[in-house]
């Protein structure tokens, strides 16, 4: 909801209802328009944060699958090292960094779920879990950057499709860096004053 441009002491909700700032209600840490609250019987106007916990649990399961895949990356790196393939150490090291990053992402998501289920609740409670997940995503980006060492070794060894592997690895790292930025930015937004138009 944003402040109405014509009258600084009024607010306008996304549905277009303008009302005095004094009528603003904060419920479960969220701003509620009094017009929407009355017209919908009050219940449907409330965004349910508890409804988010099940999709977040599914996301935790999804990240766990990536965790298992990263363990396989360590196994591949160790196998390559035993066969004296150039750059194999970079794959092992990068996979270990990524594994720590994924553990942080999972910890952040689980703490986020706990925060959403906590009473009393405020939006600022989401900041720490989001920062933890952002740190994990940043480590994933770093892990992919470390693994580029293997791709460079493959390019230098003229391995088939080595250039494409290097290209994909760079964009994997950029993806996780972008994700870390989004999570950190969102965490910062949750720390702002919990009122409409601010």
Joined together, the tokens standing for residue 87 give 């750059």
Q: Measure the CA–CA gap between 136 and 99, rounded to whole angstroms.
A: 9
pLDDT given for residue 100 in this prediction: 97
Mention every residue, 6+ apart, whose C-beta is less than 8 A from residue 71. 95, 99
Whether residue 67 is contained in a domain is answered as: yes
pLDDT given for residue 67 in this prediction: 94
Given a cut of 60, whether residue 7 has pLDDT beyond it is no
Query: Are 29 and 55 in the same domain?
Result: no
Query: Are 55 and 33 in the same domain?
Result: no
Whether residue 10 is contained in a domain is answered as: yes
Query: Are 85 and 34 in the same domain?
Result: no
The domain of 126 spans: 50-190
Query: Are 55 and 144 in the same domain?
Result: yes
Given a cut of 60, whether residue 46 has pLDDT beyond it is no
Given a cut of 50, whether residue 167 has pLDDT beyond it is yes
Query: Are 16 and 79 in the same domain?
Result: no
Q: Measure the CA–CA gap between 198 and 190, rounded to whole angstroms.
A: 11
Helix (H, G, I), strand (E, B) or coil at 48: coil
Given a cut of 50, whether residue 126 has pLDDT beyond it is yes
Query: Are 89 and 141 in the same domain?
Result: yes
Averaged over 32-59, what is the pLDDT?
Answer: 72
Whether residue 44 is contained in a domain is answered as: no
Reported as a pLDDT band with limits 50, 70 and 90, residue 21 is confident
Q: How many domains does the chain have?
A: 2
Burial state string for 2-17 with b = 16 or more CB within 10 A and e = fewer than 16: ebeeeeeebbbbeeeb
Given a cut of 80, whether residue 152 has pLDDT beyond it is yes
Calculate the average pLDDT of the chain: 84
Given a cut of 80, whether residue 170 has pLDDT beyond it is yes
Burial state string for 102-131 with b = 16 or more CB within 10 A and e = fewer than 16: bebbbbbbbbbbebbeeeebebebbbbbbb
Given a cut of 60, whether residue 196 has pLDDT beyond it is no
- The most distant pair of C-alpha atoms in the chain lies apart, rounded to whole Å, by 73
Query: Are 172 and 142 in the same domain?
Result: yes
Query: Are 20 and 54 in the same domain?
Result: no
């Amino acid at each position: 909801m944003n402040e109405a441009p014509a009258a600084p002491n009024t607010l306008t909700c996304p549905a277009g209802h303008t009302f005095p700032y004094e009528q603003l209600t904060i419920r479960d840490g969220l701003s509620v328009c009094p017009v929407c609250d009355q017209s919908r019987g009050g219940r449907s106007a409330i965004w349910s944060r508890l409804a988010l916990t099940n999709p977040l649990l599914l996301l935790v399961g999804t990240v766990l699958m990536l965790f298992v895949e990263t363990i396989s990356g360590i196994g591949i790196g160790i196998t390559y090292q035993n066969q004296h393939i150039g750059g194999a150490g970079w794959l092992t090291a990068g996979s270990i960094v990524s594994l720590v990053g994924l553990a942080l992402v999972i910890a952040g998501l689980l703490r986020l779920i706990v925060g959403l289920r906590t009473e009393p609740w405020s939006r600022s409670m989401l900041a720490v879990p989001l920062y933890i997940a952002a740190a994990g995503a940043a480590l994933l980006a770093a892990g992919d950057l470390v693994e580029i060492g293997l791709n460079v070794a493959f390019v230098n060894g003229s391995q088939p499709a080595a250039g494409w592997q290097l290209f994909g690895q760079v964009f994997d790292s950029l993806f996780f860096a972008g994700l870390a930025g989004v999570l950190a930015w969102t965490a910062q937004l949750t720390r702002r004053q919990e009122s409409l138009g601010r």
